[in-house]
Amino acid sequence: MVDEGGNGDGAIAALRIYGHQDHKTKARDSSDGVDSISSLPDVILHTILSSLPTEIAIKTSILSKRWRHVWSHTPCDIINKILDRYKARKVMSFKLSASLQYDIPYVDRWIEFAMSRNVENMSLEFGYSGDHKYHVPDSFYISNSFKQLSVKYSSIDLKLPSFPVSWTSLKILYLKSCKVSEECMDKILSGCPILESLTLHFCDKLLVLDLSKSLSLRTLVVDRNIWVPGPKQIIAPHIHCLKLKNSQLPCTLVDVSSVKEARMEICFCALEDLKADFLQAMVLRMLEKLQNVDKLAFGENFLTVLTLAELRRVPIPNLKVKDLTLETMISQYAIPGIVRVLQNSPEMKKLTTIHKMKFGTFTKNKIDKYLDLQGVNKDQRWSLEARVFENLNHWDVESRHVASFMELMLKKTKTVEKMVVWFYSYRKDQILEELPEMVPMLADKNKVSIVLHLFKQNQGFSLGFFLPK
């Protein structure tokens, strides 16, 4: 797809190229007001467009939203013709999504085209199929135009050239599903002198992530899971923002001494056993490293681990956080951990709670089983405050539950000046109409400003600002 461009010198364009991928389109009947040709499967439309002159095939993109991207999925020959006719000297953005089963003979040419136009925002996505493997050309690793680079390699090893990597203008690097060794990562980082943001999404083979020589790096995002362990040690003394989705595998924050903002969560699969003792020890060590962070966000599983520690009377570190975000459904299993965090945050000024249905959370039966094995008395396990939300799931939450949760949060902290609440409703008959009427009373009673964002069935939202009198 050519979003914007031309044939004149100095034209700026964004190009998106798709190779042979499966794009299934549901047929539409005449009752939807769509013509019979538009309701044909993509594979037939691709065949039709491939027989038309290139200019006419491209012009079909203006027919309707349905046609906007159809031409870009036609066979590779038409894509090559388009690139041959493209004369602009500059491409700002270039996205290539290719199947390694079909497109290998063409990929080098498409990448070299983008680099010949000094592309600034480059995105490469390679699907893995059988034994087909592909490694980008060596010339890809020398560019002074890249400012943003995204590579998804479908669990194939990144194969670097023998000479040094040189991405001298690169500021944002995103790697997904790549196998990156420590030697490979060191080589990449040494060639990115002004790198500001690094994201590693399910990247394997990397045991130690050492960013001590990346003086400009300010943001680090790491996603791990049980199948793709990712780095076990993180050394990042210069970053200011850390976002870590951990797993039930070891990970140590060796040095994050400059971090001012952090978001912490734990990825969990329902098929896994709950390694609660290990998680508690790891989470508490991480909190020790984040005690002086100004802005913190904790996900639901992270808070549940803190609940388990609290119920076992394991001390939780005091925090100097001023801006705290809690991303969790309203559940008794998160309440004790949340309460302890609030009580251990005496400098907090802003509290945000985000209540949205999530998948991959610790199951209640596994939590209860663990507490039984630890000898935590069932009758004394949950406080009266937590029992208010006993057996409550997201579908059952009503205005009174949200209001009770907000009141409990405000009761446990005396320094908060502003509270922001996001609630996402997924059921038509969920009773939330009374909530906007309850919030002003809570704000007035607790002398805080409250902002309510209420999303109903993923369609629009009501936004209310309620300030104390």
Could you tell me the pLDDT band of residue 2, with boundaries at 50, 70 and 90?
Answer: very low
Q: Are residues 337 and 300 in the same domain?
A: yes
Q: Are residues 254 and 309 in the same domain?
A: no
More confident residue, 184 or 395: 184
- Helical axes 399-411 vs 435-446, angle rounded to 10°: 10
Given a contact cutoff of 8 angstroms between Cβ atoms, the answer to whether 427 and 458 are in contact is no
Does the pLDDT at position 43 exceed 70?
no
Question: Of 234, 259, 284, which marks where a domain is finished?
Answer: 259
More confident residue, 143 or 270: 143
Could you tell me the pLDDT band of residue 378, with boundaries at 50, 70 and 90?
Answer: confident
Cα four-point dihedral sign 412, 415, 418, 422: negative
Residue ranges making up the domain that contains 414: 272-469
Does the pLDDT at position 33 exceed 80?
no
What tokens were used for 27? 């047929």
Give Cα 267 to chain centroid, integer Å: 12
Could you tell me the pLDDT band of residue 359, with boundaries at 50, 70 and 90?
Answer: confident
Q: Are residues 312 and 180 in the same domain?
A: no
Does the pLDDT at position 155 exceed 70?
no
Question: Of 259, 291, 306, which marks where a domain is finished?
Answer: 259
Q: Which of 26-35, 208-217, 311-320, 411-420 has the lowest mean pLDDT?
A: 26-35
d(CA 60, CA 42): 13
Question: Of 208, 233, 259, which marks where a domain is finished?
Answer: 259
Q: Are residues 411 and 369 in the same domain?
A: yes
The winner for highest mean pLDDT among 18-27, 338-347, 358-367, 391-400 is 338-347
Q: Are residues 327 and 281 in the same domain?
A: yes
The answer for residues whose C-beta is within 8 angstroms of residue 145's C-beta and 6 or more apart is 115, 118, 119, 120, 169
CATH number, domain containing residue 445: 3.80.10
Q: Are residues 140 and 246 in the same domain?
A: yes
Average pLDDT over residues 402-431: 89
Q: Are residues 168 and 308 in the same domain?
A: no
Residue 440: Cβ within 10 Å count: 17
Does the pLDDT at position 122 exceed 50?
yes
Average pLDDT over residues 270-282: 89
Q: Are residues 210 and 279 in the same domain?
A: no
pLDDT of residue 73: 57
Residue 438 phi, psi (nearest 5):
-80, -35
In the chain, the amino acid numbered 127 is G
Does the pLDDT at position 110 exceed 70?
yes
Given a contact cutoff of 8 angstroms between Cβ atoms, the answer to whether 327 and 299 are in contact is yes
For 236-259, write each residue's pLDDT tens digit.
999 999 999 998 889 999 999 999
pLDDT of residue 42: 66
> Within a domain: residue 109?
no
Q: Are residues 354 and 287 in the same domain?
A: yes
> Within a domain: residue 35?
no
Residue 467: Cβ within 10 Å count: 12
> Within a domain: residue 327?
yes
pLDDT of residue 257: 97
d(CA 148, CA 119): 9
Does the pLDDT at position 212 exceed 60?
yes
More confident residue, 325 or 377: 325
> Within a domain: residue 57?
no
In the chain, the amino acid numbered 432 is L
> Within a domain: residue 113?
no
Give Cα 226 to chain centroid, integer Å: 17
How many domains is the chain partitioned into structurally? 2
- In this prediction the pTM is 0.83
Q: Are residues 362 and 426 in the same domain?
A: yes
The answer for residues whose C-beta is within 8 angstroms of residue 333's C-beta and 6 or more apart is 304, 307, 362, 364, 367
pLDDT of residue 360: 83
Average pLDDT over residues 415-430: 87
d(CA 22, CA 455): 34
Residue 125 phi, psi (nearest 5):
-135, 115
Q: Are residues 342 and 211 in the same domain?
A: no
d(CA 366, CA 354): 24
Q: Are residues 285 and 203 in the same domain?
A: no
